[in-house]
């Protein structure tokens, strides 16, 4: 199996994701250039964090038009696995591959710190190594992480069990105090109707080695390997 990590102008977590995949999965990984349509026969695509195209207009608003994203949409429509992390989540929403939008944090400040997220759904290719209710400690680093959607979309996400992660405290309780950015319903990550596209604001690649302070992020990458191996 082979992973691909997209590089946009302004990406700054692409090498982090590349390294984390190597260390956590020991599987081949390659970089994918934003200006190319070629996914290089990758089995899973990572849309990494950073500031694609400087976050001009809106976060992800320009990146969605990159040639590589046209290929990523087709890849996902065919069932391919796509993980969007932080800015990658924003890009997937702008591209219409996930519903909703990421707005400015409620405090209007950039937040960079470890947070706890509770696993709400382990029946996805990204969480099959977890148990429902597991609490993962994974860092966030964003200014626009405040997830929002309309009432109808939120109801659909709940009814279809597509809310994958919620911000929680260390005991797994969903509280307003544990919500770092004002996200609707404490949402930290959602998936597509087909379960093959995941967007999450926390950075699993920054929690993939003991030297980084924790390895909870490895569960995301290990789950992807297990899902690909089961295909």
Which residues are the active-site residues? 86, 203, 205
| No. of helices (H) and no. of strands (E), the chain | 5, 11
Q: What is the CA radius of gyration of the chain?
A: 16
Three-class SS state of 223: helix
Cβ contact 81:43 at 8 Å: yes
Q: How many CA atoms lie within 13 A of 36 on its CB side?
A: 10
Cβ contact 93:58 at 8 Å: no
Beta strands (DSSP E) in 87-227 are 101-103, 111-119, 135-142, 146-148, 163-168, 187-191, 197-200
């Amino acid at each position: 199996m082979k992973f691909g990590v997209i590089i946009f102008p302004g990406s700054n977590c692409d090498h982090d994701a590349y390294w984390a995949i190597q260390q956590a999965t020991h599987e081949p990984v390659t970089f994918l250039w934003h200006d190319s349509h070629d996914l290089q026969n990758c089995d899973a695509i990572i849309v990494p964090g950073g500031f694609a195209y400087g976050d001009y207009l809106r976060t992800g608003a320009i990146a969605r038009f990159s040639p590589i994203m046209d290929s990523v949409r087709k890849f996902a429509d065919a069932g391919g696995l796509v993980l969007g992390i932080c800015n990658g989540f924003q890009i997937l929403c702008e591209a219409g591959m996930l519903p909703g939008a990421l707005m400015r944090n409620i405090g209007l400040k950039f937040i960079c710190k470890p947070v706890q997220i509770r696993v709400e759904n382990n029946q996805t290719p990204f969480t099959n190594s977890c148990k429902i209710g597991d609490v993962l400690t994974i860092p966030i680093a964003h200014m626009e992480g405040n997830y929002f959607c309309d009432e109808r979309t939120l109801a659909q996400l709940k009814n279809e069990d597509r809310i994958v992660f919620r911000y929680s405290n260390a005991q797994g309780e969903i509280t307003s105090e544990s919500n770092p950015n004002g996200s609707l319903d404490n949402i930290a990550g959602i998936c597509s109707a087909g379960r093959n596209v995941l967007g999450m604001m926390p950075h699993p690649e920054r929690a993939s080695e003991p030297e980084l302070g924790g390895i909870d992020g490895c569960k995301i990458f290990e789950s992807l390997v297990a899902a690909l191996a089961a295909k």
